[in-house]
Amino acid sequence: MTDLRKLDFNLVVVLDALLAERNLTRAGERVGMTQPAVSGALTRLREIFDDPLLEREGRGFVLTNRATSLIPIIAESMSEVARTFDVLPEFDPATSSRTFLVAASDYVLSELTSPLLHVLQRDAPHTRVAFSGLPVDAVVSPVDLLRTDVTIAGAGRGVPGKRASLFSDRFVCVVDASNPALVDGTLSLTALSRLRHVRSVFGPHASTHIDDMLSVAGIVPQVAATVQGFLPVPFTVAGTPWVGWAPERTANRYAASLGLAIASTPIAPSVLVEVAHWHPSKSDDAALQWLVGELRAAAELVEFGDDEDD
């Protein structure tokens, strides 16, 4: 049996960050430590587990088999420790100073951050929210849900856990307004097949709603450029002969300033529904359920605007 009195439990926090980030610098940023300090902690962890844990591969690191097997164990340990020290039996939004962690895509953060901060300031002025991106491989696992309070991702992407729908958008086609393929504001199927596309990706193996939509229409896009997420699409298309697809709110926000047209097409637009996900073990957390309610209130501002502005 391991003598717990001889263990530094700060190492568990560092190990959790290393398993998630697979990078010493990013792990240090996650836990507020310098890269040399994380390196020193990794050395001690390697001694404890008698395993390298992280190994060099090219210019980055990969997890060893032993490290991969530790992911669910460490995540559950972090969750249990958090529960142990959560000494507040009730949640009072008027007085709470809790910090919530919300993970989401660039598009969701661009739409939801300001409305969410607005409702939090109104309903719980002492609370805080920290935002992070989705996992780099675009696969949200139960372990990822343990690391956040709420993870927001598109419906139908196989995210586990409990969920609540927030808001929706539809994908529209954006093209430079001077593109000669644009006829009376419309791009034909022939033009869409001929033009090169800016493709959004969320991981090396994850398909998107846009991929599915084009596949149903029988279009195999010629990819001119690949970008991470939806937000860069209008900026990448601007001034080029390329075409791209973006959520309608994003397209409307940037089309005029970038000289883009939102083109009509024969393709039925795919609908994106953004959903809040959380780990089932947190369902009894009154603060989390309150947060989901605040996210829904913020989502109503995204969908319908603020009545106070009328």
Residue 104 pLDDT exceeds 50: yes
CATH, domain 4-84, list 1.10.10.10, 1.10.3720.10, 3.40.50.800, 3.10.20.740: 1.10.10.10
- The confidence score (pLDDT) of residue 267 equals 94
- The confidence score (pLDDT) of residue 187 equals 96
Amino acid identity, position 186: T
1 confidence band (pLDDT: 50, 70, 90): very low
The one-character DSSP state at 229 is: S
Segment 168-172 mean pLDDT: 96
| Residue % of the chain over a pLDDT of 90 | 54
End-to-end CA, the chain: 66
Question: Which of 78-92, 173-187, 278-292 has the lowest average pLDDT?
Answer: 78-92
158 confidence band (pLDDT: 50, 70, 90): confident
* pLDDT higher at 186 or 30: 186
88 confidence band (pLDDT: 50, 70, 90): very low
Residue 286, phi-psi category: left (phi > 0), alpha (psi -120 to 50), beta (remainder): alpha
Residue 214 pLDDT exceeds 90: yes
Residue 198 pLDDT exceeds 80: yes
| Phi, then psi, of 191 in degrees rounded to 5 | -65, -40
- The C-alpha atoms of residue 133 and residue 245 are separated, in whole angstroms, by 21
Question: Which of 93-102, 157-166, 264-273 has the lowest average pLDDT?
Answer: 157-166
- The confidence score (pLDDT) of residue 57 equals 87
Supply the CATH classification number for the domain 94-310: 3.40.190.290
* Partners of 261 in beta bridges: 175
* pLDDT higher at 27 or 251: 251
Question: Which of 13-17, 77-81, 113-117, 233-237 has the lowest average pLDDT?
Answer: 77-81
Residue range(s) occupied by CATH 1.10.10.10 in the chain? 4-84
- The C-alpha atoms of residue 139 and residue 173 are separated, in whole angstroms, by 26
Structure token pair of residue 104 = 């989401």
- The C-alpha atoms of residue 124 and residue 286 are separated, in whole angstroms, by 14
**Rg of the chain (C-alpha set):** 22
Amino acid identity, position 253: R
| Residue % of the chain over a pLDDT of 70 | 90
- The confidence score (pLDDT) of residue 284 equals 80
Structure token pair of residue 203 = 């991981």
- Kind plus residue range of the DSSP H or E element containing 115: helix 106-123
| pLDDT tens digits for range 34-76 | 888 889 989 989 988 899 999 988 888 899 999 999 888 888 7
Residue 203, phi-psi category: left (phi > 0), alpha (psi -120 to 50), beta (remainder): left
Residue range(s) occupied by CATH 3.40.190.290 in the chain? 94-310
Q: Please, which contacts does 298-303 make with residues 24 or more away whose CB atoms are closer than 8 Å? A: 298/112, 298/115, 298/116, 298/118, 298/119, 299/112, 299/115, 299/166, 299/167, 299/274, 300/167, 301/115, 301/118, 301/119, 302/111, 302/112, 302/115, 302/166, 302/167, 302/249, 303/167, 303/168
Residue 141's closest CA among 116, 161, 112, 113? 161
- The confidence score (pLDDT) of residue 2 equals 52
- Kind plus residue range of the DSSP H or E element containing 152: strand 150-154
> Strands 54-57 and 60-63: what pairing?
antiparallel
* pLDDT higher at 61 or 241: 241
Question: Which of 2-16, 163-177, 184-198 has the lowest average pLDDT?
Answer: 2-16
